[in-house]
Amino acid sequence: MAAPAAIELVSADLTVQGDLPAAATLSVPRSEAAATALGAVSAAPTDEPLSDDEIARRVAEDLSSLGAMSLGRPNAGAIINAVQMPEGENWELVTPYRSWATPETVGYLIAAIEKVNAQFPPSHKLYIGHLSREHGGPLRPHRSHQSGRDVDTSYYYRLDRNPGWYQRASAYTLDLPRTWALVRALVTETDVEYLFIDRSVQRLLKKYALEVGENRAWLDRIFQLGSREPEPIIRHAWGHVTHIHVRFHNPQAQQLGVRAYDALRAQRLIGSKFGYARYRAEGGETLTAMAKRYGTTDEIIARANGLRNIRLRAGRVYSIPYRGRVRRVAEVVIPSRRQPPEPGGASRSRSVAAPEGGGR
């Protein structure tokens, strides 16, 4: 079989450490649509580990047989052999043509959604925004979503508040039982890296979790709000009062990307690419500081944005031109999942009822 056409990938530096566990899936009742979707994306490309020589041969002759590879950082990366998020009865794709990711990302997301629906039937469909482009790389207006490991989802809302995509979450609109069930499933039963949630929504979720019996010390380990944990999973990010940004570790896709790196370079399947990062300026920032952050010059950024001075306007989104390549990664580390202590609040939180259809 002839080598495939070159796939242009963008610059990335992924550095992670530790042991590599097998990718896990959730053991929950699944709808027929979810079972079909998971079966389509979760089948392992091989039954046994491949040698480096076999990986090199397949890169040259049969790239699709290797399965998905997540390369680089989420804000400067790419995907090979991505899968498209399928349609499902418990979720709705807002932009299907921007719904590509690794099978691990898709499988984790589907299983977490199904867990909410098994716990609180019926629930309104969860809205799913951008994942990645088919081959990864820049995806406007995001800085990330480039390596098949990022997903934007809605919150679960009260039905009497007309649930929809990009709806502001508040004490009046948010369905706390279902949203907490989603967050809890993602944290405890998938290889989630981060959940970006506005601090106002974090406050509501953390208060609810305490009310239903979750362990306070465990909540302080996962929430940024009200915690001294240096690496919380649930973090504040501007603009995330309307949606949750989920980022997963991908044990299989990231590790395969590491092992296939030399072969991909040899076949010229990893090339350079010009693109734009998008950055929303904060108060007091300057053009010089932005240029230093992105490894470029004042002049290049000024020309791309039509700027006449170095002062930046808080809240404005600026385009940052860049050119780069995928760089070698030494190893992949997937941290252990942050489980609540035993006996924790798991059984009590699962027993909390919510009104039919997603209202509270």
Q: What CATH number corresponds to the domain at position 300?
A: 3.10.350
Position 179 scores a pLDDT of: 98
> Is residue 70 domain-shared with residue 133, that is, in the same domain?
yes
Residues 153 and 295 in one domain: no
Buried b (16+ CB within 10 A) or exposed e, 129-156: bbbbbbbbbbbeebbbbbbbbbbbbbbb
Q: Please give the DSSP secondary-structure letter assigned to residue 75.
A: T
190: in domain: yes
68 and 206 co-located in one domain: yes
Same domain, 242 and 301: no
Residue 89 has pLDDT above 90, yes or no: yes
**pTM for this prediction:** 0.74
Residue 101 scores a pLDDT above 80: yes
Lowest-pLDDT range of 13-22, 83-92, 152-161, 274-283: 13-22
Kindly state whether residues 184 and 228 are assigned to the same domain: yes
Residue 183 maps to a domain: yes
- Domain extent, residue 304, equals 280-324
State whether 251 and 284 are in the same domain. Answer: no
Q: How many domains does the chain have?
A: 2
Residue 211 covered by a domain: yes
CATH of the domain at 36: 3.30.1380.10
18-71 pLDDT, tens digit per residue, is 333 333 333 333 455 555 555 545 444 555 689 999 999 999 999 999 999 998
Residues 302 and 250 both lie in one domain: no
Mean per-residue pLDDT for 128-139? Answer: 89
The DSSP element (H or E) to which 79 belongs, if any, is: strand 76-80
Average pLDDT, the chain: 80
Q: In this predicted model, which residue has the larger pLDDT, 192 or 354?
A: 192
Q: How many CB atoms lie within 10 A of CB 29?
A: 12
pLDDT for 282 equals 80
53 part of a folded domain: yes
Mark whether 222 and 319 lie in a shared domain: no
User: Measured between alpha carbons, how far is 224 from 249 in angstroms, rounded to an integer?
Assistant: 19
User: What pLDDT score was predicted for residue 349?
Assistant: 37
- Please calculate the CA angle 149-253-128 and round it to the nearest 5 degrees: 25
- Dump pLDDT digits (tens) for 232-270: 999 999 899 999 999 999 999 999 988 998 888 788 776
Q: In terms of domains, do 55 and 148 share one?
A: yes
Judgement on whether residues 284 and 159 belong to the same structural domain of the protein: no
Is the peptide bond prior to 122 cis by the omega test (within 30 degrees of 0)? yes
Q: Directed axis angle between helix 199-211 and helix 176-189, to 10°?
A: 90
Same domain for 288 and 224: no
Q: Are 34 and 110 in contact (CB under 8 A)?
A: yes
Max avg pLDDT among 18-32, 201-215, 341-355: 201-215
In a domain, 93, yes or no: yes
For residue 293, the model assigns a pLDDT of 74
- C-alpha to C-alpha distance for 108 and 190, rounded to whole angstroms: 6
Considering the domain boundaries, does residue 273 fall inside one?
no
Q: Domain check: are 147 and 289 in the same one?
A: no
| Cβ partners under 8 Å of residue 246, min gap 6 | 109, 150, 151, 152, 153, 186, 192, 194, 195
In this structure, is residue 293 part of a structural domain? yes
